[in-house]
Amino acid sequence: MNAAKMNWSVGIVIAVLAVVPVGCSQDWSSVCPAKGTTVLSVYTPARSLSEQDEATASRKGDRDMALGAGDTVVWYGTTDDDWEVVTNWSPQEIPIDQVHVVVSAAAVSPMLTNLDRQGDSGGDGLDLRTFYTEPGLVEDVGTPTNPLKCTVDHPTNGEPSIRHYGKGSLNFSSETGTGGHTTGYIIVRSPNMDNAAVITGDEAITGLICLTGHTTLSSDFTDTLGYLFARRWSHAAVEPVVVLEAHVVATVNSIWQRAGIITARRPVNVLSLDSGQYVHEQAVLANLRMAGGQFNLRPISATTGISAATLMDGWFNATGMAHNVAIVHLWKFPEVVFSSDHRLSIDTEYKLFGEDTE
């Protein structure tokens, strides 16, 4: 994909996020970048990997070229799995602040060692512009106990900050120092259903788009998430699976689900469910709008509740619950399949266009 086409596609993604209200019928497959081998084609290596000096492999942090802001550094893992071995990179440079990092589909080693790039508690660690794993990559980035730790913050928010298209797992933690955060958008388009992406850290993520693959937003993530869109990518063989781990403070502002399974264990302000399965396990859901799919109440705490629900179609399932749950205001169309037991209470119910409406 050439740079002009990529810029057009990304611009459309950002524009749509800004103007499309949650729950609309926008076809997201038309605004997502087409599958390619290298989206960030900023850098073309001046030398092939075979021409690189293997003698530098043991000299961590050695440099033979100068990087600048906006450059791209590509991980091949030619020597081993160590971030600080320069012959794993092309050009042979350890990434610096404000560069783009690409993990090549041709990488032969995972990225596992020296991944804590966060610096001290003052937040003066590594600040990347973007981090991207190419389609077809089979190697992992980090592990759940040893994630890549840094800031990924594109200064103009003109493109996604993190894109994970590889088949391996991406384990990423935003920097915990005062200067660390992740802004822009995170796109997960991995065909891996076993922890394709695990996002941790205690700083802000403006938006998360999960198109396919298994994505976990850890309980360590303590800030508010702006938007979460779950939709099956047209080229994907699997549905998205998203887990929002519990946190008593961090809230998801808005979820739009059109495919897959989302399990929420933290407060959610607005859920628009058009298709797929949503499981609400903990905390309060402020506003539910259901036009299809299946909504399941499976409370694991007594504080779970729904402030307002508008059910137009689909299946609302509140049976076999372990705790009492209350819906304060319920609007229900006759097309909805509504299953509940004695543990669900409804303060005020409005039947819309049903036989009880005059």
Who has greater pLDDT, 287 or 356?
287
pLDDT at 355: 52
Q: Residue 3 above 50 pLDDT? A: no
Which stretch of 48-57, 65-74, 151-160 has the lowest confidence by average pLDDT? 48-57
Which stretch of 52-61, 75-84, 217-226, 291-300 has the lowest confidence by average pLDDT? 52-61
Nearest to 161 by CA among 226, 114, 108, 107: 226
Stretch 154-174: mean pLDDT: 84
- This model's pTM is above 0.75: yes
First to last CA, the chain: 58
Q: Residue 310 above 80 pLDDT? A: yes
pLDDT at 48: 33
Stretch 95-101: mean pLDDT: 92
Q: Which tokens hold the place of 146?
A: 């040893």
Task: Say how far residue 318 (Cα) sits from the centre of its chain.
Answer: 28
Confidence band of 101 (pLDDT split at 50, 70, 90): very high
Q: Residue 330 above 70 pLDDT? A: yes
3-state class (DSSP) for residue 250:
coil
In which region does residue 61 sit, left (phi positive, over 0), alpha (psi from -120 to 50) or beta (all else)? left
pLDDT in tens, 242-283: 999 988 788 899 999 999 999 999 999 999 999 999 999 999
Q: Which tokens hold the place of 302?
A: 């007594």
Nearest to 326 by CA among 311, 347, 340: 347
Stretch 128-142: mean pLDDT: 95
pLDDT in tens, 173-208: 876 555 556 777 889 999 888 889 998 876 667 778
| Proportion of the chain above pLDDT 70, given as a percent | 73
Q: Residue 356 above 50 pLDDT? A: no
Confidence band of 153 (pLDDT split at 50, 70, 90): confident
pLDDT in tens, 340-352: 999 999 999 987 7
Stretch 107-116: mean pLDDT: 96
pLDDT at 5: 39
Nearest to 45 by CA among 6, 69, 76: 76
pLDDT at 44: 38
Q: Residue 221 above 60 pLDDT? A: yes
pLDDT at 233: 78
pLDDT in tens, 4-42: 434 443 343 333 333 333 333 333 333 333 333 333 333
pLDDT at 111: 98
Q: Residue 309 above 50 pLDDT? A: yes
pLDDT at 135: 94
